[in-house]
Amino acid sequence: MRIDLSLLLSDQNLDAKAATSQRQLRVAVTAQADATDRRLPLNLCLVLDHSGSMNGQPLETVKSAALGLIDQLTDADRLAVIAFDHQAKIIVENQAVRNGAAIAKLIQKLKPAGGTAIDEGMKLGIQEAAKGKEDRVSHIFLLTDGENEHGDNNRCLKLGQVASDYGLTVHSLGFGDHWNQDVLEAIADSASGSLTYIEDPSQALNAFAQLFQRMASVGLTNAYLLVELIPGVRLAEMKPVAQVAPETIDLTATPSGNGFEVRLGDVMTDQDRILLLNLYLNQLPTGLQTIGSLQIRYDDPAQGKTGLLSAKIPLTITVQSQYQPQNHPQVQDSILTLAKYRQTQLAETKLKQGDRQGAATLLQTAAKTALQLGDQTGATVLQSNATRLQSGKDLSEGDRKKTRMVSKTTLQPPST
């Protein structure tokens, strides 16, 4: 397994006469598997809400989805299951999946009861997942259908960072319409995971299957992007780095050595992890100029090795006395993807401030951006919500959650 790292600038040429210029750098990272490489052993922890509001089909569907995951695990994989209401308890201790039937019986016994304390479930889930993370791909699936009324949201956010520090990826799954999207999104973003909206119980099986496929496609783990820039080239001060695929997330650039580093988390074999860096460049002499270098630090669970380094890739730009722009369409798509996210964020802020018309205008703009990307499903959701606001109607909780989801990713159209 090896790292594939590619770099593209929004404009490969630079005007030698310009005192200051701005460029966006698209960084794509994927794991390249050899013919002999096999699926890495997995370490999965399910943290499941079984509060009273999950009564009936919701909990039964979630249990069925969990049992479906067990069928796909092998003896080399490990599993833990945590259940929480206003407290948390271990249903299945972290263990090798050698007796799936016995594990299934424990999950089947889950009954709805009590309130909701997400942080209690997260804490126990992190503890159990940490026991089996050595040389494995370690993910936590956190599912809840409610607000954290018996817990502490700030503690949830801190625990998301703890999971990241432990090398654990956390995926948040919101079931129904009454969960806090800000909290679940922040948990997933901080732990390099994804946010999933399960609008209807019938979608749970597919949601779990998609996350499992993503987990199974991981080739390398605990990856960091390491960036060094020459004097006169710098990152933007405000929101300098964002991920735009597989979902859009604002990332943090942390000073490190002569440059900075950005945590990526897992690197998959079937999908690029794509970042967009916002750079400012001072005036440079004409000719091909190397303005920095990038590489990846990562762990390879298959070899039991940590802190490996990919080759350094030089970042170059051509400085021209007679400037001719050379824009790259792939970078433009990444810029539009980030713009859709930013426009929707601003619309949500306007809505919270009571500016319904301002929110509608921004949602319309985001819908047009989605169309430019070929994201018809996202454009439909955004335009529909804009029209609803313009007509003086409120957005339902479901509308707001769909808006958040289409801002972060490209949704597949519903099957017919």
Q: Is the pLDDT of residue 184 over 80?
A: yes
Q: Is the pLDDT of residue 196 over 50?
A: yes
Indicate the domain borders of the chain: 2-36+220-329, 42-218, 331-408
Task: State the average pLDDT over residues 196-206.
Answer: 93
User: Is the distance from CB of 256 to CB of 294 less than 8 angstroms?
Assistant: no
2-36+220-329, which class in CATH? mainly beta
Q: Name the CATH code of domain 42-218 (choices 3.40.50.2300, 3.40.50.1820, 2.40.30.10, 3.40.50.410).
A: 3.40.50.410
Strands (E), 157-283: 169-175, 195-198, 218-229, 233-235, 241-245, 249-251, 254-256, 259-268, 273-282
Task: State the average pLDDT over residues 86-95.
Answer: 96
Q: Is the pLDDT of residue 232 over 50?
A: yes
d(CA 34, CA 163): 30
Residues with Cβ within 8 Å of residue 170, at least 6 apart in sequence: 122, 139, 140, 142, 160, 163, 164, 187, 188, 190, 191, 192, 193
Q: Which residues pair with 144 in a beta bridge?
A: 174
d(CA 110, CA 213): 25
Q: Is the pLDDT of residue 415 over 50?
A: no
Mean pLDDT over each residue of the chain, to the nearest integer: 95
Instruction: List pLDDT tens digits, range 32-46.
Output: 988 777 889 999 999
pTM of the model: 0.94
d(CA 184, CA 248): 15
d(CA 151, CA 162): 17
Burial (CB count <10 Å: 0-12, 13-18, 19+), residue 65: buried
Give the closest residue to 263 by CA, choosing from 248, 237, 243, 278: 243
Residue 412: what pLDDT?
Answer: 56
